[in-house]
Structure formats: C-alpha cells, structure tokens
C-alpha cells in the first residue's frame, strides 16, 4: 500500500490535460484550488497506514491474499459491506468533505459481478480482463474515477436519437486492436485525484444503443482526454491567504467535466462492448453501491456539522437553552437514521454469482432517498443555531488588520473566555458545509450525487414488492386464501 506522500508523488507524474479559469493547469496536484481535494483522497492512504484504523481501512484481497486498501476491495461478505460504510463515516469525519475514492470502489464491485454473469451467459472474456485490471489497482494502490454520468442532451430522447450523437459516450470506431471513444462524462468526482478512469454506461440501453453500451478502463492521462474543472461556491477563497475564511483548512472535493476526444482503448482494457442487455444491471448495481455509500460519507460529514453547531452554540453562550438542545438532538436523530439505512442495506447484502457481495438494492435506494432530504434539514438547523453572523462576518484580512482588527475582536466576541477567532472559525466551517465549497459535497451532492431523487423512486417502485403487498391485503380482507 502507498503512503499519502507516495500517492501525492504518483499524481505529480500524471500528465493531465486539465483546464481551470480558461487556462491549462501545469501542476495539478499542487494547484491551491485542487490540492484540498487531493488532501482528502490522501487521507484514505494515511488512515490505512495508521494502526488505529487499519482494521477498517484495509482488507485481505480475495484476488491475491495480500493486505490492500479497502477502497480497492471486492466485498466478500455482508461484514465487508458494513465495514465499507463504517470506513466512509470515519473518512467523512476526518475530512468533512467528499474524499472521492468511493466511486472507483463502487464501480469495481458492480463491474466485477456483471462481467462474470456476461461471460457465463454469452461466453465473452471480460471478467478475466477486469480482474487483471483490478489486481493491478490493488497491488499499486491506485485511485480510480468510476465514471457513469453522461451529459444526456435532450432527456426525452434515447442516446442514438440525439441530434448530436456524442451527448452520450459511445464507441465511434471498432478496430482490430481496440475501440475509439467519443463523448463526455459529467460531474466526475475526483477526476484529477485519480490514476485511472473506469467508464460505465449511464443508463439501461436498448438494441438500438449498442454503441453506447460500453465499459472500459484507461489511464487518466490517455491522449484525447480533457478535464474541465468545476466551480464551487466560494471556491476562490482557496486562493486567498489565511485559513479562517475557507472554513475547512485542509480538505475539499472536486468535480470535472471529462471529455473523450477520439480516445483509443485497447481490447484488454474493454469490459463491455455492445452487450446492451447487461447495461441495466451494471447501472443498477453501481448506483445501488453508491447509494449505500451515502449512508456512510454524508453521515461522517454530518457528524462534523453537528459538532460545529453544538460548538458554535457553546461559543455563543447558549448551549444550555432547551431549544438548542432539542435542535441538536434532532440533527443527531436524522444523521443516525441515515447511518441506520447504510448499515441496513449492507447487513442484508447477498453474494452474487462472482462471489462479490451486493447490497440490498431496495434498502440502498431508501437510504439515498433519505439523504436527499435529511442533510437539508440538518443544514437548516445548523444555520438556525449559527445565527446571522455566519453570512455577514468580515474577512480574515480585516480581522488581522492592525487598526480594524481590534474592533472586530471586541465586537464579534461571544461567551467570555472564548477567543473571538475560534468563534469565527466555527461559523466559517458551518458556512463552508452549508453554503460554501463543501456544500457541493454535503448539500447539493446529497440531492443529485448517486442519482437524483426520482431515480431512487423508480427503483423503490421496482423493488418494493407491490404485488406481494396487495396479495397480503387480499388475504387479510378475506378475498383470497393464504396458500403460502
């Protein structure tokens, strides 16, 4: 396994073609806008090397028998699925940001079981190729961007019906030695923290969408791949001096639009090419795993937000007010409900044919559906407790100013004995999580990450067993005999 420092060094060797503010980035890993998100991924290495967290952060590989980072592991039991959620809560607590590495983990597990089933039923040879790739990922302790979401153009039209055929990522040419890819992946979490990209189809494809039924892996700096860095609220605070106004001093997350401009993929890196009938399972399983993930990562970040709200109340001298206590209780209740969903869908997980464990899909979708709501209420309560100063407070530069600073020190102080700077830092952290750069990873990502709410409702309807429920009712109402 790599150390955090070795991980950073390995990223510096990757020649990404990346753009931010209209300029191509020279040294991605050390850019002040990007670096906080790389620090968050580096934490997954640091914690794996820490004896206190080793048990949660590492696993024994079923491929090599070696100790590996759990972020590269194929889940071998329901216990592994539970440990994954616990690990994500831990890393969320330590970073208060999106630590990005789960998309690759969720992609590995989904591609593993689907390629196995494809090979068994169609006689293709994808599974061995995929496992060879994964073994390298495990041995070299790599970060992989699991890339699913296409730009999608006109949402009412199938991929092959779009006016521009590239609005869904596709195979534009098949050659003897490999395939050529055109298209893009949107909202790519951690794209510039990753060594490799593992591309999957974005939705269930039909026979007319064969060219769009493609899954492959490629190094992040393959010729023809272009990254455009996504903006976040208050992101340029990362370029300012000082550590108060950013709210989170070290960590962050990022997303990119990743463009594939005629990218060549050799056959040994292709894990699906035209088998449209397996796209539904791949999308469903990846989405299911990532919806489970949110019952861990968002809960860990929620722990920090609840702590910040409670701490801000103390700094304001109101921690004993009964309404404050009640709001904190409500925040904990909501956060632990999300965790319960993450643990529940894991504990009900079952082995797939490849031996890799899959979560209970219904419960994973219920988990994510709650995540589209509860972090909003937790954020609302945190803002309520924080008070208006969170959004009207002057800058760190004013606080440090020789003439103005002492006034701010005097007039922005809270409870006696609490340094004013501590109060300001806590409010900036709450701002960061609810409205600032980290709100991408906590608030809006809670809505849209791992699929927007309607996507979960479709799955809940599909998995909800409504026919069985109607039958139960008919038996109880005396319309039908209970024959089971």
- Give me the residues that bind Fe ion (CB under 5 A), please: 449
Active site residues: 98, 102, 189, 255, 290, 294, 297, 445
Q: Which does 71 bind (CB under 5 to 8 A by kind): ligand SF4, Fe ion, none?
A: none
d(CA 354, CA 116): 6
d(CA 442, CA 96): 9
Told to check if 189 binds ligand SF4 by CB under 6 A, we report yes
Site for ligand SF4 in 286-325 (CB under 6 A): 293-294, 297
Told to check if 98 binds ligand SF4 by CB under 6 A, we report yes
Q: Which does 102 bind (CB under 5 to 8 A by kind): ligand SF4, Fe ion, none?
A: ligand SF4
d(CA 60, CA 66): 6
CB of 400 to Fe ion, least distance (A): 36
Q: 190 or 414, CB closer to ligand SF4?
A: 190
Q: 189 or 194, CB closer to ligand SF4?
A: 189
Binding-site size, ligand SF4 (CB under 6 A): 11
d(CA 92, CA 433): 12
Comparing every residue's Cβ against Fe ion, the nearest one is: 449
d(CA 289, CA 285): 6
d(CA 306, CA 144): 31
With CA atoms as reference, report the closest residue to 299 among 248, 360, 370, 232.
370
Q: 299 or 393, CB closer to ligand SF4?
A: 299
Name the token pair of 438: 């980290």
d(CA 151, CA 171): 16
Q: Which does 99 bind (CB under 5 to 8 A by kind): ligand SF4, Fe ion, none?
A: ligand SF4
d(CA 260, CA 291): 27
Q: Are 226 and 181 in contact (CB under 8 A)?
A: no
Told to check if 99 binds ligand SF4 by CB under 6 A, we report yes
CB of 208 to Fe ion, least distance (A): 30
CB of 374 to Fe ion, least distance (A): 16
Would you list the DSSP string of 362-414? HHHHHHHHHHTTHHHHHHHHHHHHH-THHHHPPPHHHHH-TTTHHHHHHHT--
Cβ neighbours for 62, distance < 8 A, ≥ 6 positions apart: 74, 76, 355
Q: What single-letter DSSP state applies at residue 58?
A: E
Q: Which does 456 bind (CB under 5 to 8 A by kind): Fe ion, ligand SF4, none?
A: none
Q: Which of 230, 295, 349, 449 binds ligand SF4 (CB under 6 A)?
A: 449
Q: 36 or 449, CB closer to Fe ion?
A: 449
Q: 98 or 390, CB closer to ligand SF4?
A: 98
Region near ligand SF4 per CB under 6 A, out of 12-20, 94-102, 157-165, 238-246: 94-102
CB of 452 to ligand SF4, least distance (A): 14
With CA atoms as reference, report the closest residue to 103 among 193, 166, 31, 232.
193
Residues in the site for ligand SF4, rule: CB under 6 A?
98-100, 102-103, 189, 293-294, 297, 445, 449
């Amino acid at each position: 396994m790599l150390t955090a420092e070795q991980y950073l060094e390995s990223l510096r060797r990757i020649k990404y073609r990346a753009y931010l503010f209209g300029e191509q980035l020279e040294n991605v890993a050390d850019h002040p806008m990007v670096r906080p998100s790389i620090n968050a991924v580096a934490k997954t290495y640091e914690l794996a090397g820490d004896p206190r967290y080793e048990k949660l952060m590492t696993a024994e590989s079923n491929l090599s028998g070696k100790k590996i980072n759990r972020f590269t592991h194929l889940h071998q039991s329901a216990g592994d699925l539970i440990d994954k959620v616990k690990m994500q809560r831990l890393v969320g607590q330590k970073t208060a940001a999106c630590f990005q590495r789960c998309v690759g983990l969720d992609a590995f597990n989904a591609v593993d079981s689907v390629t196995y089933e494809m090979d068994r039923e169609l006689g293709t040879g994808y599974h061995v190729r995929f496992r060879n790739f994964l073994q390298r990922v495990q041995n070299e302790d790599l970060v992989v961007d699991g890339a699913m979401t296409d730009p999608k153009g006109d949402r009412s039209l199938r991929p092959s019906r779009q006016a521009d055929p590239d609005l869904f990522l596709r195979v534009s040419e098949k050659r003897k030695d490999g395939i050529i890819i055109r298209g893009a992946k949107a909202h790519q979490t951690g794209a510039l923290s990753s060594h490799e990209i593992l591309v999957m189809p974005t939705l269930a494809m039909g026979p007319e969408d064969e060219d769009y039924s493609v899954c492959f892996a490629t190094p992040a700096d393959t010729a023809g791949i272009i990254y455009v860095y996504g903006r976040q609220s208050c992101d340029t605070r990362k370029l300012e001096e000082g550590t108060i106004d950013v709210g989170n001093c070290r960590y962050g997350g990022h997303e990119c639009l990743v463009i594939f401009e005629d990218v060549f993929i050799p056959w040994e890196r292709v894990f699906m090419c035209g088998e449209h009938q397996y796209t539904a399972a791949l999308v469903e399983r990846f989405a299911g795993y990532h919806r489970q993930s949110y019952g861990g990562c968002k809960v860990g970040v929620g722990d920090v937000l609840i702590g910040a709200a409670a701490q801000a109340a103390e700094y304001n001298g109101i921690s004993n007010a009964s309404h404050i206590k009640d709001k904190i209780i409500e925040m904990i209740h909501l956060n632990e409900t999300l965790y319960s969903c993450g643990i529940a869908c894991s504990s009900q997980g079952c082995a797939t044919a490849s031996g890799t464990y899959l979560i209970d899909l219904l419960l994973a979708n219920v988990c994510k559906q709650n995540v589209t709501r509860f972090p909003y209420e937790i954020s609302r309560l945190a803002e309520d407790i924080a008070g208006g100063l969170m959004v009207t407070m002057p800058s760190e530069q004013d606080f440090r100013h020789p003439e103005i600073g002492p006034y701010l020190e005097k007039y922005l102080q809270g409870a006696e004995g609490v340094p004013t700077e501590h109060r300001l830092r806590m409010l900036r952290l709450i701002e960061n999580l609810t409205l600032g750069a980290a709100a991408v990873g906590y608030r809006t990502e809670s809505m849209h990450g791992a699929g927007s709410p309607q996507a979960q409702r479709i799955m809940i309807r599909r998995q909800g067993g409504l026919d069985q429920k109607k039958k139960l009712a008919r038996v109880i109402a005396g319309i039908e005999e209970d024959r089971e």
